[in-house]
Amino acid sequence: MKCDISNPSLAAGGKLRIEWANNDMPVLQEVRKRFSKEKPLKGLRMAACLHITAETANLARTLKAGGANLVLCASNPLSTQDDVAAALAKHYGIPVFAKKGEDTKTFYRHIAACLAHKPHITMDDGADLVSTILREKRYSGLWDSILGSMEETTTGVIRLRAMQKDGILKFPVIAVNDADTKHLFDNRYGTGQSTVDGIIRATDILLAGKKAVVAGYGWCGRGVANRARGMGSHVVITEVDPIRALEAAMDGFEVMPMKDAAKVGDLFVTLTGDKQVIRKEHFREMKDGAMVCNSGHFDVEIDIPALRKMSTKVKKNVRNFVDEYVISAKKSIFLLGEGRLINLTAAEGHPACVMDMSFATQALASEFCVKKKGKLAAVVHNVPAKIDAWVAKLKLKTMGIKIDTLTPAQRKYLTSWGEGT
């Protein structure tokens, strides 16, 4: 089996971590059980470009159980868990092309290795497979045979909608990120907790009493803001959207432009999906010792080239995943995780409990693409509401939570207009 991983001897530890994660993924387990019997993906080749984590491994096991012939590569050069990659190859027979810390050339070589598999279904976290397939002529032969592509994250969906607008999408895409069972939980609670986890593992700072500046009050940003506040930080929000800024203000956060926040922050976290959110004019205002990190998809949210230019020296790895940018004798700025997703760089990504929903939805969306073969237009589609509802109901059940149901009178009342005062 062809693979490119860092260290095959890590497989045993990786398997234990995959099994541990699996314990907290009961919805995905249920999907796997059915997929093992029904084999909805039988005879299909799949390529998935995802963060290679223990949770992703359990998704991969599910797709394989469903009959898919699957290969994996990393959706970020720093997010691969090498022990998981080794275990996938050795214990689950799934080819992986991913190494933590791979350079850009290797990253794209791994994407090419996945595409050489000639997938019928692709899965992306950031639209790298799809954009490569559409950009490079040598993959045009795949356009007609791809049944569909799943997209896991906000930035990926933004890129895919831009491709649709430019009229270059050639096959259907499912915006898994936009399912309620995905972004309302994964982006908010998953990113919220794991980003704080990554910051703490990288720096060991006490969050209580710190001024934490969170850029972006979207689903991820509000997750991080609330977790940081829960740990005693004074949280400042920066936004460009008036509605979201208003929400942040009424949720009790201080809201101000980055140029003002730069002066007061101890810790900065970007989660906007935008570029150059923290740039030269902001670094200039920052206090000595300010820590800056990103948990948005790409490493463009912090203008690292500008920071490098302003610095007299860069001391790499003053701790694991912490680089010191020396601006002057009196001022240093610390960049965490090289500006890449701090929750996956310095910690383990989202906890399994929340990825359970995201990945059950991913697996079911793939099955949906197969069932709808040839019937879906080459545009960005939403996950069917039925899938969302099934995942939510089962998740509640596995959490031991029961809810009320509408009485017939209530159902009628809620769909009519006749009754009033």
Ligand X SMILES: NC(=O)c1ccc[n+]([C@@H]2O[C@H](COP(=O)([O-])OP(=O)(O)OC[C@H]3O[C@@H](n4cnc5c(N)ncnc54)[C@H](O)[C@@H]3O)[C@@H](O)[C@H]2O)c1
User: Which residues contact ligand X by CB under 6 A?
Assistant: 153-155, 183, 187, 191, 215-221, 238-241, 244, 271-274, 277, 295-297, 341, 343-344
Instruction: State how far the Cα of 20 lies from the Cα of 167, in Å rounded to an integer.
Output: 44
What lies within 8 Å, CB to CB, of 26 at 6+ separation is: 356, 394, 398
- DSSP classification of residue 267: E
In the complex, the smallest distance separating the C-beta of residue 20 from ligand X, rounded to whole angstroms, is 19
By beta-carbon proximity to ligand X, the closer residue of 68 and 179 is: 179
Give strand pairing partners of 319. 322
Question: Identity (one letter) of the amino acid at 401?
Answer: I
Return the number of other C-beta atoms located less than 10 Å from residue 9's C-beta. Answer: 10
101: left (phi over 0), alpha (psi -120 to 50) or beta: left
By beta-carbon proximity to ligand X, the closer residue of 122 and 332 is: 122
- Angle made by CA atoms 12, 18, 23, in degrees to the nearest 5: 130
Tokens encoding 239? 């936004």
Q: Are 134 and 170 in contact (CB under 8 A)?
A: yes
DSSP H helical ranges for 311-351? 342-345
Would you give the distance in Å from CA 261 to the centre of its chain? 26
By beta-carbon proximity to ligand X, the closer residue of 4 and 251 is: 251
By beta-carbon proximity to ligand X, the closer residue of 277 and 322 is: 277
Tokens encoding 50? 């995802």
Q: What is the CA radius of gyration of the chain?
A: 22
By beta-carbon proximity to ligand X, the closer residue of 113 and 277 is: 277
DSSP H helical ranges for 298-338? 304-310
Instruction: State how far the Cα of 108 lies from the Cα of 126, in Å rounded to an integer.
Output: 14
What lies within 8 Å, CB to CB, of 248 at 6+ separation is: 217, 222, 225, 237, 239, 255
In the complex, the smallest distance separating the C-beta of residue 251 from ligand X, rounded to whole angstroms, is 13
Q: Which residue is nearest to ligand X (CB)?
A: 218
In the complex, the smallest distance separating the C-beta of residue 123 from ligand X, rounded to whole angstroms, is 15
By beta-carbon proximity to ligand X, the closer residue of 238 and 311 is: 238
By beta-carbon proximity to ligand X, the closer residue of 219 and 390 is: 219
In the complex, the smallest distance separating the C-beta of residue 335 from ligand X, rounded to whole angstroms, is 16
Nearest by Cα to 26 from 371, 359, 365: 359
Give kind and range of the element (H or E) at residue 374: none
> Rounded to the nearest 5°, which phi and psi values hold at 416?
-130, 175
